[in-house]
Structure 1
Amino acid sequence: MKRITAVSGLVAAGGLLAASFTGAANAAPKFTTSAKLNTPAQAAATLEFWTSDGGANLKAADPFGLEHKRVPKHVSTGGPAADGKPGVVPATADIPAAAAKTKNVNLPKSTGRVFFVVGDDLYSCSASSVQSTYKNLVATAGHCVYDPVGNTGTLDKWIFVPGYYQGKSPWGVYIGKQAFTHYDWDVYEDADRDYAFVTVYNGIARSKGQWIDVGPLGAKVGGQGLAYNQAVGKATYVFGYPTMAHEDGDYAYTGHTLKYCYGKTQYPLVESSVKVEEHVALRCSMTGGASGGPWLIGYSSNRRLGYINGVTSLGGDTDGNLRSDLITSPYFDSETFGVYKAAAPLWSGSIVKKDGTLGLTEVK
């Protein structure tokens, strides 16, 4: 997770605008950029790379992180402002709630790890399924899709594993098809736009010696809703797979199990050495590997669903004890929703043929 150093509840239902993305895809706004990740022809090699030898490469992946700087003191200097009315995209409706209410925090099935390759190195981030027309969309950080350091374009062999646990993929492997980011992230590495939405092919799993199609991502694990132009200060759950050691050398996390933080968002310090002016912050000790994890408001432990209102982008140490204690997310506004809308209506399809080999099986 990129770490910086000098760094209740939804609006009443009647005040929310439920967004619609059904029907034909609208023309993408000018601030949206997109790029292919894996073609059907590349899918077989990508899948084999990550799943061979018992998923050894999955276990070997390092957390993808950017520069770390230390914040001497957290000082609020104002922050982001909505650029329109608050709105939400509802979460998926076909995931049943738990039979009885619980006081425990049930972790979302929709959160998982993203894996990709930069040069010869293996890396991972966190991400979440988000509701879309064909239930095939992932939300994550922009730096978990485009490499802002090497400026090499989209990251190679990109996959999403929801519910990742100890090297296992209980809900299948979802190969990335197309990535959508904000132009300012892609071109200027503007951390205020450090978010991305990625379409994925139907999930793939191994059964009786051959690959099988396990269906669309959202049909398998559900899809979180999306919220934008919301007030700062809401109670928020942040989920992710922290992996990196704290700066003092302590490995508090392994990256093999899902973790969460909870609190109310606040305005972060505006950090001049990083292009950050419109982030929100949360007190949290997550480290590298948690990048891209969802920030959920209105989260229901019974349904394991809520509204993604941010993704982990930066982190820092605010008290100088060499341990991470703050994370930040870009503020989700109408332009975030615009990038989402460009990706949400797009179809991906299955890449598993009847004989268990890989290749596009249907054209839409």
Structure 2
Amino acid sequence: MIHHVLPRTARRSRARRASRILLALTAMAALLGVDVPGAAAGPPLGVTAQAPPGAAADRVGALFAGGLDGGHFCTAAVVRSDGRDVIATAAHCLESPYTTLFAPGYRDGRAPYGLWKLTGVYVAPGWTDGQDPDDDIAFATVAPADERRTGSLEDLVGGFPVAASQPDDATVTVIGYPRTRETPLRCANSTALLSETQRRIGCPDLSGGTSGSPWLVDGELAGVLGGHEGGGTVPEISYSAVMGDRALALYREAAVAG
């Protein structure tokens, strides 16, 4: 069911072992339900504004092509894992994993927590085989791009728990980086199901570059901006694939590895 792609294997998408698996299963409740930053404060529902620095925004970062001077093209977020080095984004954002770098907490040309290279990519077969919008969510393990850096990504910024389930009309907070901005935007609003597998939100100004942005329900990752229409064809309406069983299985596989 799950297709595990390492960066050394070329894959195109628009976008540790058995002993550790047993340990990961016993720890999964902790991965899914702890360390949730507060998300109540902010602008009114349906209003997009600059996301202030803090625990939530620092766990979100921009994806760059090769380095800070290569321009950022998507958004990703740190999620909890055994090895404390896993990010979530849209599958269509991981088209070029060899050259993709993650900058958590990126603001105004600076990467306060360093740059992180991808070491493993986890996408569902439905995306790699046919770019199924219901599978437009991916996870990746990361390591410091600067080999002199020690410690894990979660040690620096923490990680969002992954929501095992959400109500159909959940209130979602989206944090992401439009290509034209050097600071993240934040918007919260109630959502509705477009279908059983796709969720819809009305938030202005979530333009190109916000693909992969985390959709947070009570501080837990419930999806990423992507899916239907690649996440939306107009900045005012965005979509996310529902975090279903396939995505949760993919997350668990990545969590074991990283």
Deviation at 1:255, TM superposition (A): 2.6
* 1:163 aligned residue (105, 113, 116): 105
> Are 2:87 and 1:138 aligned?
yes
Contact 2:73 2:208 in 1 (8 A): no
1:79 alignment counterpart: none
Cα deviation code 1:267-309 (max 9, x no counterpart): 22x6xxxxxx7210100120000000100011xxxxxxx2100
Deviation at 1:229, TM superposition (A): 3.2
* 1:264 aligned residue (169, 181, 190): 190
2:243 alignment counterpart: 332
Contact 1:203 1:216 in 2 (8 A): no
Contact 1:92 1:218 in 2 (8 A): no
Taking the aligned partners of 2:35 and 2:79, their CA distance within structure 1 comes to 8
* 1:232 aligned residue (160, 168, 173): 168
Q: How many residues align structurally?
A: 221
* 1:278 aligned residue (197, 219, 232): 197
Taking the aligned partners of 1:238 and 1:225, their CA distance within structure 2 comes to 15
> Are 2:127 and 1:179 aligned?
no
**CA 1:32/1:255 → structure 2, altered by over 3 Å: closer, same or farther?**
farther
Deviation at 1:310, TM superposition (A): 0.6
Taking the aligned partners of 2:253 and 2:129, their CA distance within structure 1 comes to 18
What is the letter of the counterpart of residue 289 of structure 1?
G
Cα deviation code 1:131-181 (max 9, x no counterpart): 0001100000000113xxxxxxx5331211001112211011111100001
What is the letter of the counterpart of residue 166 of structure 1?
D
* 2:222 aligned residue (297, 309, 313): 309
Taking the aligned partners of 2:41 and 2:35, their CA distance within structure 1 comes to 22
Which stretches of structure 1, 4 residues or more, deviate above 6 A after TM superposition?
Answer: none
Report the more deviating stretch, 194-203 or 181-190: 194-203
TM-score (norm 2): 0.77
SS at match of 1:290: coil
Taking the aligned partners of 1:130 and 1:203, their CA distance within structure 2 comes to 19
What is the letter of the counterpart of residue 284 of structure 1?
C
**CA 1:183/1:102 → structure 2, altered by over 3 Å: closer, same or farther?**
closer
Contact 1:203 1:217 in 2 (8 A): no
2:140 alignment counterpart: 198
> Are 2:178 and 1:242 aligned?
yes
> Unaligned regions of 5+ residues in structure 1, if any?
1-30, 40-64, 67-86, 147-153, 205-210, 244-253, 271-276, 299-305, 318-323, 348-364
1:344 alignment counterpart: 255
Taking the aligned partners of 1:192 and 1:173, their CA distance within structure 2 comes to 29
What is the letter of the counterpart of residue 242 of structure 1?
P
Taking the aligned partners of 2:162 and 2:71, their CA distance within structure 1 comes to 30
Deviation at 1:90, TM superposition (A): 2.1
Taking the aligned partners of 1:283 and 1:202, their CA distance within structure 2 comes to 35
Contact 2:200 2:239 in 1 (8 A): yes
1:112 alignment counterpart: 61
| Bigger share in helix | 2
Taking the aligned partners of 2:74 and 2:130, their CA distance within structure 1 comes to 21
Cα deviation code 1:65-114 (max 9, x no counterpart): 89xxxxxxxxxxxxxxxxxxxx9712448xxx79xx98457552100011
**CA 1:134/1:155 → structure 2, altered by over 3 Å: closer, same or farther?**
closer
Taking the aligned partners of 2:63 and 2:117, their CA distance within structure 1 comes to 10
Taking the aligned partners of 2:41 and 2:71, their CA distance within structure 1 comes to 38
Taking the aligned partners of 1:223 and 1:213, their CA distance within structure 2 comes to 19
What is the letter of the counterpart of residue 118 of structure 2?
G
TM-score (norm 1): 0.56
> Are 2:130 and 1:188 aligned?
yes
Taking the aligned partners of 2:143 and 2:97, their CA distance within structure 1 comes to 17
Deviation at 1:116, TM superposition (A): 3.1
Cα deviation code 1:170-220 (max 9, x no counterpart): 01111110000111011111011100000001463xxxxxx6314211110
Contact 2:62 2:72 in 1 (8 A): no
Contact 2:203 2:236 in 1 (8 A): yes
1:292 alignment counterpart: 212
Identity of aligned residues (%): 27
**CA 1:145/1:102 → structure 2, altered by over 3 Å: closer, same or farther?**
closer
**CA 1:237/1:102 → structure 2, altered by over 3 Å: closer, same or farther?**
closer
* CA RMSD in angstroms, aligned pairs only: 2.7
SS at match of 2:106: coil
